[in-house]
Amino acid sequence: MKKIDIQTIAVNGIIAAAYAALTLLLAPISYGSIQMRISELMIFLAFYNKKYIPGLVLGCFLSNLASPLGVYDIVFGTCATLLAVIAMWKVQNRYLGALLGGVFNGLIVGAELTLVFKELPFYLNAFYVFVGEVVILMIGAIVFGLVEKNSAVMKVLHAK
């Protein structure tokens, strides 16, 4: 089993804190049936290195502790992010990763919203969450495409 070093733990703590802080700072657009979590841009870190996955999932979990949807968002929202970051790590194309992130969040968070807000149909919830997530993740795909042109940053992102 590979040993986890202190630097990896610290970096994941910073990622988790940044994700949670950004989500909470922009809370009015981060929660609810129509949401655009700017912090989701960070899930592209998993595209470059799987060692960032724990920090991203922990950041989502911490953010969801403050969600007005309570335990539903803690469980469903965190699960959706976990699946999105795993997909982001596994695929070889940023845009496909963005689409998969949108699908996972749309379906899972859409189901969550349907459980909480019974008067709203699943397909509408799933569609709104999917669109918000895909918009953010497509922006992220473009931004990280530009970041890839900086060899110094890429060296840090791929650091083992």
Q: Answer yes or no: is 92 within a domain.
A: yes
pLDDT at 69 over 70: yes
How far is residue 148's CA from residue 155's CA, in Å, rounded to a whole number? 10
Task: Enumerate residues 6+ apart whose C-beta is below 8 A from 60.
Answer: 19, 23, 77, 78, 81, 82
| CATH at 109 | 1.10.1760
pLDDT at 1: 65
Question: Range of 141's domain?
Answer: 6-157
Q: Which amino acid is at 110?
A: G
Q: Answer yes or no: is 1 within a domain.
A: no
How many Å from the N-terminal Cα to the C-terminal Cα in the chain?
15
Q: Answer yes or no: is 34 within a domain.
A: yes
pLDDT at 157: 86
When pLDDT is cut at 50, 70 and 90, the band that residue 60 belongs to is very high
Q: How many CB atoms lie within 10 A of CB 133?
A: 26
Task: Enumerate residues 6+ apart whose C-beta is below 8 A from 31.
Answer: 67, 68, 69, 73
Q: pLDDT for 106-157, tens place per residue?
A: 999 999 999 999 998 999 999 999 999 999 999 999 999 999 999 999 888 8
Q: Answer yes or no: is 87 within a domain.
A: yes
* DSSP structure class, residue 41: G
pLDDT at 158: 81
Pair of tokens at residue 96: 């496909």
Q: Answer yes or no: is 129 within a domain.
A: yes
Output the pTM of the full model.
0.94
Considering its fold, how many domains does the chain have in total?
Answer: 1
DSSP 89-110: HH-S-HHHHHHHHHHHHHHHHH
Q: Cα dihedral angle (56, 38, 74, 124), rounded to 10 degrees?
A: -130
Number of H helices, E strands in the chain: 9, 0
DSSP 50-89: GGGHHHHHHHHHHHHHT-TTTHHIIIIIHHHHHHHHHHHH
pLDDT at 160: 54
Report which of residues 110 and 34 the model is more confident about.
Answer: 110
pLDDT at 92 over 90: no
pLDDT at 93 over 80: yes
Pair of tokens at residue 95: 């845009």
pLDDT at 3: 77
Helix (H, G, I), strand (E, B) or coil at 122: helix
pLDDT at 135: 96
pLDDT at 103 over 90: yes
